[in-house]
Amino acid sequence: MRKILLLISALFVFFIVFSGLSNSVQAAEHETQNVENEIESEQEKEKEPLSVGNPLYPNSTLEMYPGDVLYTSKGWSTGLVGHTVIIGTDFKVKEVLTGTPAGRSTITKEFFDRHPTGNTITVLRPTSGASGAATWATKNISSAQSYNLLSHNIDNIGSNYCSKFVTQAFYHGSNVSLVSSINSLILPSEIKSSSKLRVIATITAK
């Protein structure tokens, strides 16, 4: 009888030990499977296309930002005085040109393509007020109906010109004055040299 009890005890101990080893093996296999799944998941992520950010300026790897100001160098295409525009919330160029209506929304490729090869476009980024200026410009570009260099009233949107409109966008949209005198003739070069804007890049038209 004692031998039978000893045998039963030995079998019970063996069962307990075996069960523990089996659980340990299963846990290890489960952990290994989790690691393999994580590796496969990371590999799948690497296969997926990268998330798309802001569009890029033509002929560059530079991201566009609403509120950016573009200055075009002096030349025949800009009436020998230069030209300034602002990037709207839709990433289109908001600019005032001769003709009717004067206010135009232009895709950046068209804007770059109309410049002769070798012309430079300077990208200026605001130190503050970019969002408000971009929003204002996008909302009000259609209100610029006529081109007039003699229209100096900062509150008059209908009669306008390129650098005045950019100045208005920051003044009315973000309470930022790009130039010292807002109710006088504003040259594109004044916008370019404004302390409220910093040069990010210079892109050459191709």
Domain ranges of the chain: 1-48, 69-204
95: pLDDT strictly greater than 60? yes
Q: Lowest mean pLDDT of 29-33, 164-168, 183-187, name the range.
A: 29-33
**What is the structure's pLDDT at 3?**
47
Measured in degrees and rounded to the nearest 5, phi and psi for residue 200 equal -100, -40
- Residue pair 123/169 in contact (Cβ under 8 Å)? The answer is no
Q: Lowest mean pLDDT of 55-64, 72-81, 102-111, 129-138, name the range.
A: 72-81
- Residue pair 202/122 in contact (Cβ under 8 Å)? The answer is yes
- 3-state class of 115 per DSSP? coil
Measured in degrees and rounded to the nearest 5, phi and psi for residue 35 equal -65, -45
Architecture of domain 69-204: Alpha-Beta Complex (3.90)
Q: Tell me, what DSSP letter sits at residue 59?
A: T
**More confidently predicted of 79 and 149:** 149
145: pLDDT strictly greater than 60? yes
Judging by DSSP bridges, how do beta strands 159-160 and 146-147 pair with one another? parallel
- Measured in Å, how far apart are the chain's first and last C-alpha atoms? 102
Interval 52-81 mean pLDDT = 82
Predicted TM-score (pTM) of this structure: 0.73
**What is the structure's pLDDT at 10?**
46
- Residue pair 71/124 in contact (Cβ under 8 Å)? The answer is yes
